[in-house]
Amino acid sequence: MYFSTALILLLIVLDIFVYYLQKQQEEDDVEQNNSSSSDQQSVHIEDHVEKKDSSPSSSLEKHCRRFSLAEIKLATDDFNDAYVIGKGGFGKVYKGRVDFGGGIDVAIKRLNINSNQGETEFWAEIEMLSKLRHSHIVSLIGYHEESGKQEMILVYEYLPNGSLEDHLHKRRAHGDNLSPLTWIQRLCICIDAARGLDYLHTGTGVECRVIHLDVKSSNILLDKNWAGKIADFGLSRTGPAHQSSTTNVYTNQIKGTFGYMDAQYFATHRLTRKSDVYAFGVVLFEVLCGRPALDFTLDEKQYSLAVWASHCVEEGTIHQFVDPCLRGEVSNHCVKKFAHVANKCLLWNAKDRPTMTEVVAQLELLLALTLQNNSRVTIAEKVRSLFKIKFPVPSNHKKKAIKKDEQHTTMAEGGSYHSNTTKFSIPVAGNPKEQAAEDGSTSDHHGGAARVFTGKELKRATYNFHETSIIGWGVYGVVYKGVLSDKRIVAIKRSKRFKIVDQTQIEPFINEVGILSQINHRNMVKLIGYCLELELPLLVYEFISNGSLSDHIHNESRSLALTWDIRLRIATETAGALSYVHSAASVPIIHRDIKPTNILVDDNYVAKVSDFGVSMKIILVELITVFEGTLGYLDPEYLQTWVLTDKSDVYSFGVVLAELLTGKRPLRFDRPENERTLAIYFVSSLKEGRLSQVLDERLLLNEGVIPDDIINVSRLAERCLHVRGDERPTMKEVAMELEGISIVKEKSVARVEEREEEDRS
């Protein structure tokens, strides 16, 4: 056993050396071949499409066959649904058999004429795959295209084992009786896919480098031997191989799949090969944790696998979330090494991420380590992995990591929390901190006056937390309606996530008490008190009778009452409250989760900002190691830099304004691709003069005329949604501008009423 292991490691080292020399020679050849054209600009697939007529070029004929429609129909029994093996954004995929090279099984992808994809993606895939030949890239066998674009069909090699996504998520979720992928299989598939991407990025064998732009588990297919292959090049982009960094700048649409999308690309529209590296890092965590990139059935903090897994790696808890199918099969040491590779791919600064060449090297070294330590691995698996292993020498260049504050705490001044102890304190009634009323603050309650309730009182108020008292659910827990002994109606929030004895997890609870005990404003929900007596902590708030702003925007029966005047007033009041918390104290408070579900409205539609559990007091800027917020409202600059400022709240408020103006949710995957993210869609529509097409139709005047105040609020929202924080206004400026728009509107209405009165008289 020891002799065979030593022999394997020796051969691996020799293979590293040979592969390194080969790789260097190929890179030198590419550099020499392209040195004379160093001033060329990046090439877009669309440029080729514009020059193309309906017939394929002679170069395409050399590499892939043009099939007749009759051949395609024969192979699929006239597109019989019984032959369908998959569906995607392009259309249905059929299994067929064509008379090509003695007869072979193929996968036939037929464009749905109603698909968001079309001719551009069709020719992009043909051009790309006709140039690329690699054992870990799906081969394009041929295509069919008719004049008039009635039929656009692609014919690929058939891969019988489906996609990586199928085996990680879909088949298990559907209850299929399949053996899960082993750890060795998963590692080998990841290495296969990484090598395919490395081939695309380094330009080996072709005169261009390729950015895939849609790397995800559903685009990694598995052949009969379980080898992984990269598929779906419809969104890919190319550039000259001699360039050290392939980039393209897009001004209209962001391409890719949410959950895998590079935050830096999302924020700047600047695309590099490191965007593929980011997406591949998400795939690696999928493989390790066995969960999809986005899962909205989980708590908000866990929606995004990338954000959540990175946090787990930082906290050293990722081993707790390994796919249950792998328990006992992979050591904690291997989990740590693998997660480290994945986490480096997800670094927010693209320059700090590894290249795919480096990723291949690290994964294959991890495989060698796994084989060395795993005495249960079969000889067949060893032989297969041995002959597949070809790795370059890892770079000696080491990036300097940002040192994060290990003792960082989000506690507001007035309450204390120690991350390395179990001590905490909260302000209590009887010792209020006096605070001057300014910027709309009120004197009906004072900061610090939080009452301590007994468990018995709150049980009685909610009929022992009976389910009939529940009025809402959130990330923090369940919200009950309660009636106190003095007949006051209150809202009682009960944690569902931690026990009171687990004081290291009680920070959101303490944070909310600490902040709301010190600030007050007529447009902020009042904290009445709290209870620490029971097993789970409870917070007691004033009861806001009319629900959340989200309820009114997106509930058709309730949105009828939400006139533009009411929407404008709610926006103005919310902006005033946020301006207050940003500037009322000596140290600004950043809310971090501004969204319509956290803006409550009373019976008179007065806005009340709520939920300060993840808020922070910061001094100018703060480096954040754990992301808080909600997808669709998160500031892209915050995602990119990890630096939190008050401008992150401004961005989130800009999304709220767009939601008020359009009546659309901020993030929906059932909308067309260019409309999925409301912030991007709203800004692009405004710039392109299509505002009337996205506005809530109830806000338009007769004949589709847009009132001036709506135009002005739309432009303000656009400034709030600027990708750069320093280009956004402050919340004080936003509040003042909205107040000014409201005043102008009121005066205009008053003048109209005066003229109507004069006409009647």
Binding positions for ATP are 109, 493
Strand partners, 491: 481, 541
Residues in CB range of 683: below 8 A, 6 or more apart: 718, 721
| Alpha-carbon span 126 to 156, nearest angstrom | 11
Rounded CA-CA distance 445/342 in Å is 50
Q: Measuring CA to CA, which residue among 400, 205, 166 is closest to residue 290?
A: 166
- Binding site members: 109, 493
Query: Do 539 and 492 meet the contact criterion of CB atoms below 8 Å apart?
Result: yes
Helix (H, G, I), strand (E, B) or coil at 127: helix
Of 46, 47, 44, 66, which is closest to residue 55 (Cα–Cα)? 66
Q: What is the C-alpha separation between 724 and 49, in angstroms, rounded?
A: 34
> Distances in Å between the alpha carbon of 319 and those of 284, 314, 349?
14, 12, 25
Structure tokens at 687: 């710039």
Task: Please confirm, yes or no, whether 649 is among the known catalytic residues.
Answer: no
Gap between the Cα atoms of 537 and 498, Å rounded: 9
CA distance 161 to 562: 52
Cβ–Cβ under 8 Å, residues 131 and 89: no
The active-site residue out of 214, 232, 649, 696 is 214
Provide the token pair at 422.
């179990």
CA neighbor of 287 nearest in space, from 315, 303, 309, 307: 309
Neighbours of 26 (CB within 10 A): 14
Mode of pairing for the β-strands spanning 424-425 and 91-98: unpaired
> Which residues, in sequence order, are CB contacts of 593 under 8 Å at separation 6+?
611, 614, 615, 628, 629, 630, 633, 652
Long-range CB contacts (< 8 A, 24+ apart) of 70-76? 71/98, 71/99, 71/144, 72/96, 72/108, 72/144, 72/153, 72/155, 75/106, 75/108, 76/108
Could you identify the residue written with the tokens 């993210």?
677
Q: Which residues of 172-191 are buried (b: 16+ CB within 10 A; e: fewer)?
A: eeeeeeeebbbbbbbbbbbb
- Tokens found for residue 401: 């990591």
Provide φ and ψ at 289, rounded to 5°. -95, -15
Separation of alpha carbons 743 and 71, rounded Å: 70
Taking a C-beta distance cutoff of 8 angstroms, is the pair 159, 222 a contact?
A: yes
Q: Are 558 and 476 in contact (CB under 8 A)?
A: no
Contact indicator for 141, 106 with CB cutoff of 8 Å:
yes
Phi, psi torsion values for 490, nearest 5 degrees: -135, 165
What burial class does residue 3 get, using C-beta atoms within 10 Å of its C-beta: 0-12 exposed, 13-18 middle, 19+ buried?
exposed
Task: Check if the beta carbon of residue 647 is closer than 8 Å to that of residue 625.
Answer: no
Give the separation between CA 614 and CA 649, rounded to whole angstroms.
12
Mapped onto helix, strand or coil, the DSSP state of residue 39 is: coil
CA dihedral for 290, 294, 297, 301, sign (positive or negative): positive
Active site residues: 214
